[in-house]
Chains A and B, each alone.
Chain A
Amino acid sequence: KAGVTQTPRYLIKTRGQQVTLSCSPISGHRSVSWYQQTPGQGLQFLFEYFSETQRNKGNFPGRFSGRQFSNSRSEMNVSTLELGDSALYLCASSSWDAFTDTQYFGPGTRLTVL
């Protein structure tokens, strides 16, 4: 089956702009999680959506938001971009049950804020 896809793969923005990243999960997966990866902070959890509802949230400011659509595709939005938002943003999808599935990661979106 097709893997997790993320678009775009690379993005360059300037401070103060906003950005929307997209994630298409594996077919049949209803959970989508988002992570930020930076050299300084490592991999940090942003939020998780399950059946269009935010189920878990990490410790990020309100500038970071997300949503999930009825087809399980998810978007995350970052408003008022800061230089420190430059990172690799990864999304992962899974079914609801840890015992029968795992989190499958996409290749990520590399965001550069100038």
Chain B
Amino acid sequence: AQSVTQLDSQVPVFEEAPVELRCNYSSSVSVYLFWYVQYPNQGLQLLLKYLSGSTLVKGINGFEAEFNKSQTSFHLRKPSVHISDTAEYFCAVTRPDSWGKLQFGAGTQVVVTP
């Protein structure tokens, strides 16, 4: 079985400052990793995913994440946030043989203030 831990429940950040959201996972087999964003009263939108290959993954809206197998981490970063980045962010994992079954972390609420 695998599990996902998001280390921060809430991250306050000033506009134009960088932000890092931390995600650790555990699994006895190889997994795929994802970051999703959820804006109020909306569904989830994929920011980026890691399946294999380069450990630095670039996504939409200026986000990127780095897969670190030795530390079992998949942290999300953005060098300069906007007010519109205020949302909840979810890290998720799935096994290649159960692609349609995502396991999510508890989420990190990002609040961007001017």
Residues of A within 8 A of B (CB): 4, 31, 33, 35, 42-45, 48, 50, 55-56, 58, 90, 92, 94, 96, 98-99, 102-108
**Smallest CB gap from B98: residue in A:** A56
With contacts A105-B45, A106-B43, A107-B43 taken as known, whether A42 is within 8 angstroms of B107 at the C-beta atoms is yes
- Flag whether B103 is at the interface (Cβ < 8 A): yes
Contact at B51–A99, with CB atoms within 8 Å?
yes
A85 to B103, CA, bound (A): 19
The answer to whether B42 touches A58, judged by C-beta atoms less than 8 angstroms apart, is no
Which of chain B's residues has its CB closest to A95's CB? B99
Distance (whole angstroms) from the CB of B42 to the closest CB of chain A: 6
What are 7 pairs between A and B in contact, CB < 8 Å? A33-B101, A42-B107, A56-B98, A56-B100, A90-B43, A103-B102, A105-B36
Nearest A residue to B42 via CB reads A107
For B46, the chain A residues whose CB sits under 8 A away are 102-104
- In the complex, how many angstroms separate the beta carbon of B88 from the nearest chain A beta carbon? 10
The docked-state distance in angstroms from the alpha carbon of A27 to that of B41 is 24
- Which residues of A are found within 8 Å of B98, using beta-carbon distances? 55-56
Judging by beta carbons under 8 Å apart, are A45 and B49 in contact? Answer: no
State which of B49, B90, B99 has its C-beta within 8 Å of the C-beta of A43. Answer: B90
A90-B43, A107-B43 known; A43-B100 Cβ under 8 A: no
Chain B residues whose CB sits within 8 angstroms of the CB of A45 once the complex forms: 101-103
Interface residue B111 (Cβ < 8 Å from any Cβ of A): no
- Which residues of chain B have C-beta atoms less than 8 A from A56's C-beta? 98, 100-101
Return the CB mask of B34-49 against A: 1 if under 8 Å, else 0. 1010000111111001
